[in-house]
Homo-oligomer: A and B are copies of this chain.
Amino acid sequence: MSSPQPAGQHTVRRHNSALVLNAIADPSGHSRAEIAARTGLTKATVSSLVDRMIGANLVVEGAAAVRPGPGRRGTALYLAPDGPHGLGVEIGVDYLATCLIDLTGEVRARWLQPVDNRSLSPARVLSRVAKAVKTALAEAERMGVRVGGMGVAVPGLVESATGILRVAPNLGWREVDVRGELRRRAGLDDIPVLVGNEANFAALAELWQGTGPRDFVHVSGEIGIGAGIVVDGGLFEGVYGFGGEIGHMMVDPRGPECACGSRGCLERVAGQEEILRQAGVLDDRVPEELVADLLDRLAKRDRKALAATRSAAKSLGVALSGVVNLLDLPTVVLGGTYARLAPWLWEPLRAELTQRVVSSEWSPVEVIASTLGAEAAVHGAAGSAVRAILADPDPYVTAVLA
C-alpha cells in the first residue's frame, strides 16, 4: 500500500488535464469553448492545458466546426491518431496474438500466429513473444508512432504488484516473471509493461468498446471460465490481482469431480468442454471446429445439444446470481464462446438470475452478449496502455515536453 501523497498545484493540473482529455476523447470533436463548458473549467485554463497536450502529440486540431448562427467558429479537437500507441500481446493456449492500437481505440496493426504453447517451455514461448513484440515495435517505428505502453494478456493468475504469473493451469506454467523476461528479451527499457489476466483484459475491452455499461461482470468460457468485474468504469482486481476467479465456484456438491480436487465446480459443470461432451460432439478436432459443430446442432434443434446448453446456462445462472448478489451489478456480459451460445443461454440464464437475485425487483439484471470476438483480450491489453495515458495524461505530457 503506497502512503498517501500531498497535493500541490501540479496535482490540480494533473487532474484537470485528465478531465479535459476525456472530454476531447468524444469522437464528435469539440472546441476549446465547448470543452470549457462541459468540464466547468474556464476557456483560459482549457486553452493552456490543450496547448500542452497538442505539444505532446496527444491532441490535434481538426477543421473548424460548422455551426449555425453568427460568431467565430471553434476549432474541433480530437485525440491524435498518430499519438502514442498501445501494444497488446496475448499468450493464448494455442496461439499468440499482438496488435497496435491508437488513442481512439482503433486497431492499426494486428498479428496472429497459431502455436501450441502447451508443448513449449516458457522460455521458448517468451522468446517467440519477444520476437513478435520486436516486429510490432518495428512496425510502429515504420508508421512513425511512439509506443506508449504495452499490455500482456495471459490465461492465469497474475500478481498485480510484481507482474509475476503465479500459475497458468491450461498452459502448465508456474511462477513466471513475464514482465521481467519480456523487458529483458525485447529491450523495453522505457515502455511501461502491464501483465494481466486474459479475462480481465477482455472485460476491459468490452468496457472501452462503444458506450456500454460501466458496471458489469464479463464471463468468458474457453478452456477455463474467467470473469472480469468492472465497477464504476474500472476493473476490480482484488488486493493481489487475483480477483474474478469464478471457475471453481461450487454449483453442486454432488457434481462431477474437478481437477482442482473439489466437486461440481462451475468450470467442470458449465465449461465449454462439458457442454461439448454432453452434446456428444467432443472428439479430437480443434476447439473451433467443435464449437462450430455445436452451434450447427443447436440451430437444427438437436435434443442433446439443447439440453447440454440449457444445463450449462442454469449452472452459470446459479454462479452469476451469487456474483450479482454480492456485488450488486446491473449487467452480465457473455463473452468468448458464451457470446456465441448466447441465443440458447439467454432464457434459462435470465430465469435463474431473476429468481435468485435479491434486488432484481428494483434493479433487474440485464444479460447481454459481447460483440467483440476472440480478440477481445488482445484489444483490452493494448487498450490498457492507451487508457493509462488517457486516464492520467499529465506525467506523459511532462515527460514528452521535457
Please give the residue numbers on chain A whose beta carbons come within 8 Å of chain B beta carbons, in ascending order. Answer: 1, 4-9, 11-12, 15-16, 19, 22, 39-41, 45, 157, 159, 166-167, 214-215, 227, 229, 231-232, 236-254, 260-262, 318-319, 321-323, 325-330, 355-356, 358-359, 361-363
Contacts and interface: CB of A to CB of B under 8 A. Distances in A.
A225 B334 CA distance: 30
Contact of A242 (B4, B41, B240, B359): B359
A362 B166 contact: yes
Chain A residues touching B, majority SS: loop
Closest 8 CB pairs of A and B: A238-B328, A245-B325, A7-B15, A242-B359, A243-B328, A242-B328, A249-B322, A7-B12
Contact of A328 (B1, B237, B363): B237
A327 B22 CA distance: 29
Contacts of A253: 251-252, 318
A278 to B, nearest CB: 17
A241 to B, nearest CB: 7
Copies per assembly: 2
Contacts of A262: 355-356
A252 B255 CA distance: 10
16 contacts: A4-B39, A6-B39, A6-B40, A166-B362, A227-B326, A229-B326, A231-B238, A239-B329, A239-B363, A240-B328, A243-B326, A245-B326, A245-B359, A248-B356, A252-B252, A326-B326
Nearest to A323: B326
B41 A6 contact: yes
A363 B326 contact: no
Most central of A6, A8, A261, A329 by chain B CB within 10 Å:
A6
Given A6-B40, A159-B362, A328 B249 contact: no
Given A167-B361, A238-B328, 9 more contacts: A4-B19, A7-B12, A7-B15, A8-B12, A157-B358, A236-B327, A247-B358, A250-B251, A326-B326
A312 to B, nearest CB: 14
